[in-house]
Structure 1
Amino acid sequence: MTDLDDLPEFQVVVRAGGFRDAARLTGKSASGLSEAVRRLETRLGIRLLNRTTRSIAPTEAGRRLIERLSPALAEVEAALGVVDGLRDTPAGTLRLNVPVAAARLVLPRIVPPFLAAYPDIRLEVIAEDSFVDVLAEGCDAGIRYDERLEQDMIAIPIGPREQRFAAAASPAYLDRAGRPTHPRDLLTHACLLGRFRGGALTSPWEFEKNGEIIKVEATGPLIVSTAGGMDLALQAALDGTGIIGLFEEWLRPHLKDGRLEPVLADWWQSFSGPFLYFPGRRHLPAPLRAFVDFARAFRW
């Protein structure tokens, strides 16, 4: 294989009509350019330039090479220009792997203004509750809660910094089944649960008050997939089927309009909000760098 560094040097010597003029154009030494051409001729086994003390001229082989070489090097420069553009201008595809709750409660606030600010970025969001290796899945970054963060990743806060696990039911259900006054009362109630793709349930439910933590093995008539069935569970709660445990923000509109009533609100447990996490590489892809900077500056 010919050293590709010698090819553009041969090209500039031919275009300049000599080694000294080529040296002035490139900032390299005339002797260095001469050596590059000599090295290229040796590797190809054919003379490319006829040299005199005052000028140079390409041989037949040199003319044919330069005719094919010039468009090829122009294509290489164009390709490198595309890469430079992706480095300096946020453009291209950004793939995020996020929990379903983050897709519902965090991203709707940040995604529209982000895409408006960076119209050349295409955002792809994979929302699921199985905790996959985001890089192995072909994603650039993910959103996770602190107990799910991988140690070799960089993590920055994204979304509200404090969230709560809330329980609620329709007034009609509570009028019929009674209103719990202690977390253990839930053992006799119909609770609406989720199941992760790995098989684990969203039970036990965890409550906290004055430093006391109580876990309740909630059971009930309905179990849905956390990846896509929580809206069904919520609708069942609205229709009086039972008590649902979910992020407070998810339930808030229905708590506000009275269709749902808080259950054990003084026991709702707080936890830290989610994080955007990504590999600690020195050179981040421009779309990811733009999103990281945007998330850091975004006011929640």
Structure 2
Amino acid sequence: MNEPDLSDLSALVAITETRSFRAAAKVRGVSASSLSDAIRRLEERLNVRLLNRTTRSVTPTDACTQLLERLKPAMGEIAGALDALNSFRDSPTGTLKLNVPIIVARSILPPIVNRFLLSHPGISLDILASDTFIDILAAGFDAGIRYDESIERDMIAIPIGPRTQRFVLAAAPDYLDTHGTPEHPRDLINHACIRHRFASGVSFAWEFEKNGKTVKVTPKGPLLASSIEVELGAAIAGLGLIYTFEETITPAFQSGELVPVMQSWWLSFTGPRLYYPSRNHMPAPLRAFVDFIKSDHKLSLA
């Protein structure tokens, strides 16, 4: 029997982790048909079926499960051995894949990314901005950025960017002149509100806090959108109040197109965190990024 090709075995691992030829192909940057060919070669060389395939699912056979129990640790050791070569270079090399929220990609990451890439010319960043919660490992990412409430407890997490952020309420001066200025969250029941819909389809209640007291309001209004650009445009046009990240609103405050409303009730919360799995062999690009973030934080406090 000819020895299986290492790349074919790696393809098998990717397919079983994602349970999808298409998803595994996306992770590996190849076509789904090439992965299908890899599995066909493996099954022919090993003379055993490895995957049960239907139009809706891909599941490992018992033989495949037994193979993977011994194969995955070995593949991890190989990846670690190859990655260890980075210690002999002046600068680490490789690609770091990150999954981040849209607000972080828009308002927080750009200066961090620019400084990191300038100081690590051998590393490439592959960033997907999405508000959809995913299993970063199954989707082929090295790390993700999220807020505390959505980070799984078995992950290592470190702060990145601002340590605290705020949601701010704002409206166009013309809107307030016409409809009056709310002074308490309950007043919003009688106002037009511009709402945000997340990728999951959910539109959350607006939460406010003052002197330890929390008030939630279910907003109503003329617009529900998943685009902050559309929402901001509507608020500037005087269609209603908007409640969103301070970083998003600041330019409109500076131009006078929007003005702050109910500032004493604005909600503060912990800033985003970079999270990644605990590994014996952390990929060199991820290790470099983690070290950079920690060092960048120390400099910002100095």
Shared fold per TM-score greater than 0.5: yes
Separation in 2, partners of 1:144, 1:218:
25
- Counterpart in 2 of 1:223? 224
Q: Deviations over 1:220-249 (max 9, x none)?
A: 111111xxx111111111121111111112
- Distance, in Å, in 2 between the alignment partners of 1:282 and 1:160 is 29
Tell whether the 8 Å contact from 2:99 to 2:130 is kept in structure 1 after alignment.
yes
Name 1:130's counterpart in structure 2: 132
Q: Secondary structure at the match of 1:108?
A: helix
Residue 294 of structure 2: aligned partner: 296
Query: Mind listing any 5+ residue stretches in structure 2 that lack a counterpart?
Result: 2-78
SS in 2 for 1:174: helix
The counterpart of 1:268, out of the listed 255, 266, 269, is 266
- Report the counterpart of residue 85 of structure 1 in structure 2: 85
CA contact (8 A) 2:131 2:198 kept: yes
Distance between the aligned counterparts of 1:87 and 1:127, measured in 2? Answer: 30
Partner of 2:251: 253
Alignment-mate amino acid for residue 139 of structure 2? E
Q: 1:212: which partner in 2?
A: 213
For 2:18, the equivalent position in structure 1 comes to: none
> Equivalences for 1:23-34 in 2 at 5 Å?
none
SS at match of 1:139: coil
Q: Residues 96 and 126 of structure 1 are in contact (CA less than 8 Å); yes or no, is this contact kept in structure 2?
A: yes
Contact 2:80 2:281 (C-alpha < 8 Å) held by counterparts? no
Q: Which amino acid aligns with 1:269?
A: L
**1:177 counterpart (176, 179, 200):** 179
CA contact (8 A) 2:83 2:284 kept: no
Partners of 1:197 and 1:138 in 2: CA distance: 20
Aligned position for 2:38? none
Quick one: distance in 1 between partners of 2:267 and 2:255? 23
Percent identity between matched residues is 53
Aligned residues: 220
Moved more, 250-259 or 270-279: 250-259
1:31-88 deviations in whole A, cap 9, x for unaligned?
xxxxxxxxxxxxxxxxxxxxxxxxxxxxxxxxxxxxxxxxxxxxxxxx9996543455
Whose Rg is larger? 1
Q: Which aligned runs of 4 or more in structure 1 are off by greater than 4 angstroms?
A: 79-84
Q: Find the residue that maps to 2:111 and give its secondary structure.
A: helix
Counterparts of 1:190 and 1:107, CA distance in 2 = 32
What residue in structure 2 maps to residue 50 of structure 1?
A: none
Q: Could you say what secondary structure the match of 1:298 adopts? A: helix
SS in 2 for 1:102: helix
- Residue deviations 1:273-296, cap 9 Å, x none? 111000010211111011101111
Task: For residues 76-121 of structure 1, give each alpha carbon's deviation from its aligned partner in whole angstroms, at most 9, with x where no partner exists.
Answer: xxx9996543455421111100111111121012010101111111
Give the 3-state SS of the residue equivalent to 1:208 in structure 2.
strand
Instruction: Pick from 187, 190, 201 the counterpart of residue 188 of structure 1.
Output: 190
Q: 2:158 aligns with which of 152, 156, 165?
A: 156
Q: Residue 139 of structure 1 corresponds to which residue in structure 2?
A: 141
Q: Distance in 2 between matches of 1:81 and 1:152?
A: 25
State how far apart, in whole Å, the 2-side matches of 1:279 and 1:204 are: 32
Change over 3 Å in CA distance of 1:186–1:116 after alignment to 2 = same
- Tell me, in whole angstroms, the C-alpha distance in 2 between the residues paired with 1:95 and 1:87: 20
RMSD: 2.1
Deviation at 1:199, TM superposition (A): 1.6
Please give the residue correspondences for 1:274-293 in structure 2 after superposition, counting only pairs within 5 Å: 274-293=272-291
- Provide the C-alpha distance between the structure 1 equivalents of 2:216 and 2:111, rounded to a whole number of angstroms: 32
TM-score by length of 1: 0.70
